[in-house]
Each structure stands twice: as C-alpha cells, then as structure tokens.
Amino acid sequence: MPLPSVRPGFHLSLAFVAVTWASGGSAAEPPLAAKHPHPQTVHSVSWNDDYFWLRERENPEVKRYLEAENAWFGEVMAPLKDLHDRLVAEMKARLIEEDTSVPYRKGDWVYYAREEAGQDHPVFCRKPWRSDEASVLLAPAKPGEETVVLDMNERAAGDNAYSFGGGSVSPDGRLYAWKENHDGTDLYTLHLRDLPTGELHPDTIEETMFDEPPVWAADNQTLYYTLGDETDRPWRVMRHRLGDAAERDDLVYEEKDTRFSLSIAPTKSGRFLLITSRSMDTSETWRLSLGNSDAEPAVFIPRREGLRESFADCGAHWYILTNEGAVNGRLMRAPLAGPVREEWEEVLPADLRISYESIEAFTGTLVLQARREGVPGFFLLDPDKQTTRWITSPSEGGWVSTESTPFPEAMAQRFSYETFLDPYTVAEADLSTGEVRVLKRKASPPGFDRSRYRIERTLATADDGEKIPVWMLLPANHPRDGSGGLLMDGYGAYGIASDPWFDSHVFSLVDRGIGFAIAQVRGGGEFGRPWYEAGKLERKNHTFTDYLACARHLVQEGYVSPSTLCGTGASAGGLLAGAVLNEDPSLFAGFIANVPFVDVLNTMLDATLPLTTGEYDEWGDPAGSREVFDRIRAYSPYDNVREQAYPPLLVLAGWNDNRVAYWEPAKWVAKLRVHNTGPVPPLLRTDFDTGHGGASGRYGELDEIAWQYAFVLKCLGRDGTGGKP
C-alpha cells in the first residue's frame, strides 16, 4: 500500500487558512489519505469506497497516516497550547482532591472509596460495620481497622486506558474478585485477592467480558462470569471453582442467537443468580440457585419477540417488571417455587406517565427505578399493601440514580442526585416512611459561586410538532441577542436518557461566556419507551431533525447565533454529529465528534465486527433488507459527505476502540478533506493507548478535555487571540 498522498494544488490554500485559524505561520499541509478503489455491491446497488483500506490495522501505512494526522493536529493547535495548559490548570484546581465516598454495608463490613491528591484512581477500602448512623458511617476508620481492598492506582501502574470492570466480595468477606482492563478494549482479566492477608490469589481468568462484576456462589469457592465470542459479544456464562485452571471451567449457559448478549447479576437476597439474554427489544431470564454450586439454570419464560422482563425475589414471591400489555411496563407477582406465567398476578398496572426501568427487593420492600413524566427517580413499594412512595431529587433538572445498597435487611435505599449546579449528593430514603435524609454532598469546587450561573429549560418544536427539551447551564448574564456562545450536546440512542449533571470542568467554558446545553432528542429514554422507539429503526431520522430543531430554536430565541453555536456528540452522538453536519452545516461555528459512529452502512453490513449483530434491533440489518439498506444509506454520515462548506470539526478516535473502530472517524475525516469547501480542514486525533472511553484517570482525562475546550473557544473567538475565525 503506497504512502498517504497529498494533492498540492488542492490543499495549499486550505493549509494557509487552517494555520491562520490557529494563529500560526507554518506552511505545512494537512495529510490527504491515499485513495484505493474498493468496489462494493449489495442489493444490486454498487458504489466505491476509496478509504476502505484504512480498516487494515496491520498495514503500517494506516498507522503512518494516523500519526501524520496527529502531527497535523499538533501543528494546527500549537498556538493554543498556552490556553490548553491554562484550562488544564483550572480544571485540576476545581478537583476535590481528597474525598471519601459514603460507605455501604455488606455483611459485617462497610465498603467505601478514597480519592487521594495526585492519584488518578480511587482506593477501595473497608472497615468493620458498627452502625448505620451517618456520623458513624462517615467517621474515619480507627487506626488499624481499615483494609485496602483494591488500590486502583497500583493496578493501573500509569496506564492511561486502565479500566476497573467491577468487583465483588465473597459471602464470608474473605476474598475479593474483580475485573480490569489495560488497553481500552472490552476484554477484562479477572483477579482475586485474599483480604485478610492482602495477597493475590493464584487464580486468574483472561478475556472475561465487559464491566460487570463476577458473582459468587454461597460456598465462597465458586464464581460466575461471562465470556465473549469472536465479535466480543457476551455469549457464555462460565462457572469457576477456586484452584481449577480456567480451561476446566464449566459452561453454564450459551446464547447462540447473535442478536442477543448475556449479562449476569445476583439478586439482593443472595439466593439466586439471574442470567439475562437481551437484544434491544427482547429479553429472556434464567435463574440459578447460588446455594448449590452444581445448580443448572431454569428459564422463567421462554423468549417472546418484543417482550422484556426483569425479576427480583422478595420473601415467597418473584416480582416481575414486564412490558406485556404495557409499553412502559407494569409489575406482576408469582410464587417463588413455580413462577409459571399462568400464576402471575398484577401488582401495579401500567401508567403511560410512568416508565419503569429496574427492580430490586429488600426483605419487605421493593424499589422500582423509574421516570415519571420525564423526571428520574424511584418508587418504594410495600408489596403487601400495594402502596407506593415516589422519591426524586429535591432540585429540578438533574439525574437521580439508586446507589449500591446490597444488604437485604437494610432499612433505607441509598440514592444519589446532581444538577448542573448541585454537586454529587448521596442520600437515603427510609423504606417504611419515605423520609429522605442527605448523607453527604460532595464539596463544591474551590471558588465556586452559583450566583454567577443560571439553569434554563426551553422546548424546541420538532418537524412533526413534538416538543424537545433543552437544558442549559448559562452564565448569569448570558445575553438574548444571539451573541452568547453555547456548546450543545446530543446523543439520542439505545433508550439512554441524557440528564443534566454536575461537571466542574465545564465551568472553564461557562466562565468565558460559553454555556453548555443538553438536547434531549428522541432515541433516548427521557420519556420512556415511546420516546426511544420514536428515534430508532425507520424513525431514526427524528434524532437528527430533533437536534437541528433545538439548534434553530436556540437561534430564534436569541440564546445563540450560528456563529456562536458549537455542537458535540460522542459514539452514537457522533452519528448525530455527522448526520446534522451533512444536513445543515451552516448552523454551527464548530463541532466535536468523539469516537463517532459515522460509517454506519459498512459497519452494519459486516456481521464479523463487535456489536453489529446485536444492534440490528437498533439500526436494522441492511444485508437482509433492501429497505433497511436504503434507509441507513440515506443518513450514514460517511456515505453522505458532499461538496459543501463544513464548519471547523475536531474528531477523536481510539486505536483500541472495539465499539466504534478507529477507522470510522479516520475514513470520515479523509473523505471530508476532499469534499469540504469551507476554510478549515477537519482535525483528527487518534489516541494509540486507549479505546472507546479515552483516558480513564481523573487527571489523565484533563488533557483531552482541555484540547476540546480550546477548540470550542477558538471556534467562538473566546481564545484570547482576537476576533472569530
């Protein structure tokens, strides 16, 4: 394969403008990837992909091209290095460097995490349980009583991509099993530690799947975990007995349907392991006794296309959240001994205002995480009286999530919440009365003054009349004459809700007059299953038109103008970025696409890639249907790049990313280079050490965030160099 080439006549003027945009004087030109025709034909449709060769990971010319892109990024952004360094210093100064989480009880111990100054990762510890009183829980461990369960800094050993994949303590409290990854992929190594001695256990299991904790059986000698197939789809549940070689582990369950992926979790009671096989639209759950290390799984209900259930055991019953006859879910109950479908009885009927998301069971109370008219929270349910209490954040406009409360006899459910202006807060709700008490609120950053900011929610009108919420964190004096800057985030996929959160880093933008907004577009889960289904498959285009409607609404209302609005999206949000830029690039002064899913058609045509088959229910199977093929081809960002002026664009990729392969952003940028008639060539930066999540440490991530913010500030003329580009 020849070297990436440059056409001198094409890029001389672009190079000059790009370097001028960054206030430099170099005459260097941006890389231009070589073209190698790759004809393709599907459903009698033929086309050519000139940059298909960038998928050849082992080809040294691929890495050479990406390194050239990194060098070009460095040259263009070099004049902003001082700004970048100031941003890093500001964000670091806002970190609460010394902190301790609220301990939670499991057995005779309480577990917590400590953050230490100068350390990227937390240290997971425990101390003896004495009381659930907040003053006792939050008191430092007495001398000699603290046990370090896992020092993640020690385990990371400086690796930027280090990721903790979840851990669990054996029922007797002696052994700790956890999973970790060092290269940014979704393959984790399972390790064990003897907590009384601190010694590593000799058992090690390679290439376990993703970031869910292993599960212990009641005998303290047996562990359950998942393995992936050749596409990294979790498809096997394995049983490991301590002391055995991993090659001898038992196969407990195997999922052969490539649309489905497996996950495992214990019930809060510790009586059962739940094995769930799930596609985007359908689930099937198997139960296995954790009291019998030789137990075989039994299915609750054989899968039925389009039906989804989740289960929790409470006393003599199973409680079941199901979408059968209820688009947003309803609650059923069945006998523990024989939960056949004919014996299910309804406990809570469906309510279109309420979307039920998950279920957990304490000894005598159920907790149902839910969204009520778009507001996140949870219900406390007395299953005998069938009475509920709704618990949510005391502050409007944020997220709420139940926190780890693994002790089944606990008297309160732990939960957390935050907003744009309220830092992470841990509280608990009394299971009997619903009374809420705050246990700990994370300290505000040094110098934080909330009076300098304001939160607003506005509603944009979509093409079909649907109202799309936009949450904004703004400077208190943000003008309404179109001159105020704004960075708007969008996602809209998989039914995942995008709720406001407290991010101390973003104040480096807001303090410079750049607000931050979240567009809650369809395809997400903000208003339940219907909101999600309105932005997937044949209705996926709603996600993109919703985001554009939000941008136009903000312009019409004077919050911004096209010259003061930047966009950002990551992963599936990067798909949104590419689609809206193809549709109306003039609406934005700049855009950040982080690990963007932009080569949608090629990826969904390749069933050998990770995630592809499991996402047919999200995007469709273009190989199996001409209709689906045409639909995806019509919006796939890479396939719809055309001759037009695109705004400045920063694209970020991870070399080890097995969710959105590095070649998707690389191919997209290569194609944009030859079609963009705008003055600023797109920038591509590939991190060769990380994957989908980027740098993992709280200090390590600052470099990447600072470059993104420097890019936004330059796009909006707030970088200190003078006027707008």
Task: Check residue 431 and give its pLDDT.
Answer: 96
Does pLDDT of 555 surpass 80? yes
DSSP 27-89: ------PPP---EEEETTEEEE-TTGGGG-TT-HHHHHHHHHHHHHHHHHHGGGHHHHHHHHH
Largest CA distance in the chain: 78
The residue-averaged pLDDT of 169-190 equals 96
Task: State which H helix or E strand residue 202 sits in.
Answer: none
Task: Check residue 29 and give its pLDDT.
Answer: 86
Does pLDDT of 12 surpass 70? no
As given in the structure block, the two tokens for residue 475 are 């400077």
CA–centroid distance for 142 within its chain: 37
Rounded distance between C-alpha atoms, residue 520 and residue 72, angstroms? 35
Task: Check residue 14 and give its pLDDT.
Answer: 38
* Apex 17 CA angle, 29 and 639, nearest 5: 70
3-class secondary-structure state, position 672: helix
Task: Check residue 24 and give its pLDDT.
Answer: 46
Task: Check residue 720 and give its pLDDT.
Answer: 63
As given in the structure block, the two tokens for residue 397 are 């406009």
Task: State which H helix or E strand residue 24 sits in.
Answer: none
The per-residue pLDDT for range 297-345, each reduced to its tens digit, is: 999 999 999 999 999 999 999 999 999 999 999 999 999 987 889 999 9
The residue-averaged pLDDT of 501-513 equals 97
Task: Check residue 617 and give its pLDDT.
Answer: 96
As given in the structure block, the two tokens for residue 433 are 């009365």
As given in the structure block, the two tokens for residue 71 are 């060098």
Rounded distance between C-alpha atoms, residue 410 and residue 106, angstroms? 10
Task: Check residue 10 and give its pLDDT.
Answer: 27
Q: What is the pTM of this model?
A: 0.94
Rounded distance between C-alpha atoms, residue 715 and residue 21, angstroms? 9
Q: What is the CA radius of gyration of the chain?
A: 26
**Residue 13 identity (one-letter amino acid):** S
The residue-averaged pLDDT of 198-222 equals 95
Does pLDDT of 722 surpass 60? no
Query: To the nearest whole percent, how much of the chain has pLDDT over 90?
Result: 90
The per-residue pLDDT for range 561-609, each reduced to its tens digit, is: 999 999 999 999 999 999 999 999 999 999 999 999 999 999 999 999 9
The per-residue pLDDT for range 406-443, each reduced to its tens digit, is: 999 999 999 999 999 999 999 999 999 999 999 999 99
Read off the pLDDT band of 725 (50, 70, 90). very low
Q: Which of 543, 539, 547, 546 minimizes the C-alpha distance to 628? A: 539
Task: State which H helix or E strand residue 470 sits in.
Answer: strand 467-475
What's the chain's average pLDDT? 93
Residues 6+ apart with CB under 8 A from 76: 18, 19, 21, 22, 24, 30, 683
Read off the pLDDT band of 620 (50, 70, 90). very high
SS (H, E, C) 112-167: EEEECCCCCCCEEEEEECCCCCHHHHCCCCCCCCCEEEEEHHHHHCCCCCCEEEEE
Other CB atoms within a 10 A radius of the CB of residue 640 amount to 17
Does pLDDT of 6 surpass 70? no
Q: Which of 588-597, 621-630, 695-704 has the lowest mean pLDDT?
A: 695-704
As given in the structure block, the two tokens for residue 23 are 């206030």
As given in the structure block, the two tokens for residue 446 are 């040094």
The residue-averaged pLDDT of 110-136 equals 95
Residue 595 in contact with residue 692, Cβ under 8 Å?
yes
Does pLDDT of 453 surpass 80? yes
Q: Which residues are catalytic?
A: 571, 657, 692
* Apex 149 CA angle, 146 and 155, nearest 5: 130
- C-alpha distance across the termini of the chain, in Å: 37
As given in the structure block, the two tokens for residue 411 are 């008297």
Sheet holding 467-475, edge to edge: 453-461, 467-475, 514-519, 485-490, 565-570, 590-594, 649-654, 683-687
Task: Check residue 182 and give its pLDDT.
Answer: 94
Does pLDDT of 713 surpass 60? yes
Task: Check residue 716 and give its pLDDT.
Answer: 96
The residue-averaged pLDDT of 255-275 equals 97
Domains and CATH numbers, the chain: 8-32+45-93+454-715 (3.40.50.1820)
Read off the pLDDT band of 15 (50, 70, 90). very low
Task: Check residue 383 and give its pLDDT.
Answer: 85
Sheet holding 387-392, edge to edge: 354-361, 366-372, 375-382, 387-392
Task: Check residue 21 and give its pLDDT.
Answer: 59
Q: Which of 18-27, 148-157, 519-528 has the lowest mean pLDDT?
A: 18-27
Residue 669 in contact with residue 638, Cβ under 8 Å?
no
Task: Check residue 697 and give its pLDDT.
Answer: 86
Q: Which of 77-86, 203-212, 320-329, 509-518 has the lowest mean pLDDT?
A: 203-212
To the nearest 10°, the Cα dihedral for 277, 280, 283, 288?
30
Read off the pLDDT band of 714 (50, 70, 90). very high
Read off the pLDDT band of 2 (50, 70, 90). very low
**Residue 243 identity (one-letter amino acid):** G
Task: State which H helix or E strand residue 232 sits in.
Answer: none
Q: Mutual orientation of helices 572-583 and 541-556 as an angle, nearest 10°?
A: 60
